[in-house]
Structure 1
Amino acid sequence: MPRHIRSAWFKTLASLAMVLLLAVAAGSLLGQPWMAVALAAIAALAWHYWRLRRVLRRLTARQRWDTEEGAGVWNELDRLLFRNQVEMRVRKRRLLDMLRSYRAAAAALPDAVVVLDRNSQRVQWFNEAATTLLGLHHPGDLGQALAARLQPMPLAHWLAGGRNAEPILDVASPVDPAIRLNLRLIPYSADHWLLIARDVTKLLRLEQVRRDFVANVSHELRTPLTVVHGYLDMMDPEDFPGTGPMLEEMRKQSQRMAQLVEDLLTLSRLESQEHTEEESVAMRPMLDTLRREAEAHSQGRHQISVEDLAGVDLLGSTKELHSAFSNLVTNAVRYTPAGGSISVQFRPEETGVVLVVRDSGYGIPAHHLPRLTERFYRVSSSRSRESGGTGLGLSIVKHILSLHQARLEIQSEVGKGSTFACHFDADHVRRREAVPLTHAED
């Protein structure tokens, strides 16, 4: 206990003792000492009760506290309450200033910010950008259900996903269909969600311009490259002595350029797609094809194994999935030294099925892994040129898997090889139909 509080207690007790002693002395003179002590004790108790009632009444009324001069316990209590009241007032003012600053910052954001009640999904607060992008108006839309208010945006099912809701990358604004929005739901507390809507109209327009440019340039390059490649094939080194190595290198580079153009056109087509075909993809013949392609590309330099442990088929586009799987298998052969091994395994997992391509090749440093699916990203430019890669294969794989709601997982260690796993959910798994036997098989 602090010294000044102990001093106040002692002074109060001393005052009480003094009152009782005076009462004893006065009572002795009157011949009634105990009566005088009792009356003095009742008076002291009444006074302390009155001070306690005064404190409780002022606390209940939340009055501004004033201090009085004195050295007793009640005066010390007044000073403590006054100090706490001042500190609380300062803290409250600071919190209000911070709240105003946060609200001003949120109001100044170009993105629409909407605070939602987690249980009812009703609007609690929104900034000015929410009026421009989402059409919410103050105060009429406060307390309204957001999904019903923002029709025809498909938000009801999305909001029901809560913490697991994936961002909506492109949706029309209810204010103007020409405005394209990116929506993200952030559960930032136990009772509230934060909806952030960003105007991505310009970004999407620029992305479309880029896609059109790449597609048009690639298409225009296809014809001249075909002509150049055709003339190179017609040229016989015997007719031009000493030009054999030069013609061979020209053919190799023209073929590489032609493959690059084809990959760019494929990637441009995939980026413009929103959905893919939904057909039954027979995985048994698909795996047989991958085995033949790996063996043809390897030319006997590697050990190749293909296992079908799932016994099911997939739902999607046979052509696109073959392109993705073939890219992974070809890369495994391309970047694995002679004598290494490549395994392809199609197996079940808890959430669906996975196709795994594993090699014992050079391996990839960990800091390169997050960027492997970027266009033209290369771990080693010289090695890629020697192997004939275009730098677009894994980007094509990523887009194909994304169209099938699948994901690509990459694991690698330098000197120990790499593993590329294509994970498909249960919605894209189909029971394999029995293949009827032919008379020859009977």
Structure 2
Amino acid sequence: MNPKLTFWVPAALRLAILMVVAGLCWWISGPVAGLSVAVLLLIAQLYIQLSYLSQLSAWLDDFNSAKLPDGWGAWTDVFSRLYRLRRDDERSQAELTEWLARFRQAMHLLPDGVAIMDDVLFLEWCNPAAERHLGLTLERDKGMRVTNLVRHPDFIDYIVLGRYEQPLTLSLRDRKLIVQVIPFENRRQILVTHDATESVRIEEMRRDFIANASHELRTPLTVIVGFLEIASSTPDLDSASRQAHLKLMTEQGRRMQRLIEDMLTLSRLESVDYPLRPEPVDVGAVIEEVLEEARALSGGRHEVTATIDGPDIVGSAEELRSAFGNLASNAVRYTPEGGKVHLAWKQGADGPQFTVSDTGIGIDQVHIARLTERFYRVDKSRSRETQGTGLGLAIVKHVLLRHHATLSITSKPGEGSCFTVTFPKR
């Protein structure tokens, strides 16, 4: 029905009833009685309307706590409409609250920092990532100017000059941050921060790896090419010199072969295309093989022994043999003639442990944290003498990561080293 009709028809009916009642009184008791009844009925009608208006006013002043009044006549439709509007508003508020909660949860889980500023750079809101990246605390810093909170010259210039077309790369709080401001609305700006520390570190490692690998491959190639040029330019080279050159070329070729094999092993260990395929591993048998290889490498110049008193584990026998072999061969290479190398497999308090201890040259503490980096060498001249590739401990690191194991190193220069691999408890 038309809302106008809904209002005017009941009003007209009530007015007609009032006139009929007043007319009857006029006809029965005379004009005075009729007019008196008409006035009283009008006053009663006016009182009812004013009462409903008062109730409506009270409800509008505090519509959340006051109960919506019941109506009569046209007021029934008015109050029912108000009730529907209130119900729709409550539903919209509930949906808005739910979406706001979801938005805040999503913002809290974002790895990137998000901060909202007004047009004069006052902080209105930020997520936990932005707090970590920029050193902010929302409860403390809300309403303060961002350029006063992040006092870095490059950041202040970027914000103040307003050149937001390109992001800003910033070194802040021992992190590499990519910062960008995105204007939105007329009086709001979004400050987005991305932590690129790990990406930068990986890129530096990639560059270092390529440079080091190129250097390591260039040295034996230079030797081989040099001797080949001598052989081609000197047809009458004596037999002894030719044999010496062939021996050196063979050694350098094998060195290149070992380096390439280690690089391929590292690539395979890091690739998601080669997941670990766990199987029961007879660790005792693996260590026996490693022991024989270490003794062959030593050639009787060291006392190489082993103690096997630990359980079998689940993992990759091939990868564990490679990791254990690298630790044992390093101990042999860096232990002077007459020294001792001992391999041990036992059940430790935190889980099964494989230990390689030696009486070698030892390692200074400043180098220990970087030993598992690719091509990192404590003594480059010593590494060339031992024919190491510089990738052995990097391979050990990745094998242990795949087996959820840890490597701890203790060493003293001139006294020897101890490398301990601890596997998790079953």
Taking structure 2 as the reference length, the TM-score comes to 0.48
TM-score between both structures, scaled by the size of structure 1: 0.46
Higher gyration radius (CA): 2
